[in-house]
Structure 1
């Protein structure tokens, strides 16, 4: 990660396929019912489902999303990074791309370049705490 310091806006997503209000559970013979989503905000595709944060069921709050990011090696020339950022942002803004992302039960959004480093640091800290609390050790 130390060699991949330059990055550009990434797409954030909340899975809808695992939170559909009436989805068939493979381990059960009856439908499962979702009670909440794990994102920061309600999923536009499932506006009736609150977030876990709204329900206030977990002390200290709870948010879990996943995201995709683009990285380049540290020594990538600035003009190349700027072009990649620009092309990626243009691609993500295209209606056809937005439709394809939503078709995969994802909610597209993009980080601003300056937000990405802050987000990475927060994610690393969160997972470090979870790993530590669970006493997970790498072989």
Structure 2
């Protein structure tokens, strides 16, 4: 969204959004025409900034709070992924035990069924 859209949707002035942006509170990208484009999540960030301002936090304190909440959300998500990964490892171990004596064609069918999922898991691991 362009800054005008953000201002209209959030009720925050363009000047204030510009100030928050220059203070490093809001992320944006530049368009080909050099406009600042804000993600949809900027509206939630502006709400959070307003709540923190109401608590009389300084811009530096607000920036720190926004950065730490982003990091803690990431940490929670990473923990969830690790838990899921551990569950998958246990299921894979059980599946391996069940397939020890299975005929080759059954193993091939299961392998093909799991192949696309394994590519997705490998892609995720590459990000980490």
Q: Same fold (TM over 0.5)?
A: no
Give TM-score scaled by structure 1 length: 0.23
Asked which structure has the greater RCO (Cα within 8 Å, sep 6+), the reply is 1
Higher relative helix content: 2
Structure having the higher strand fraction is 1
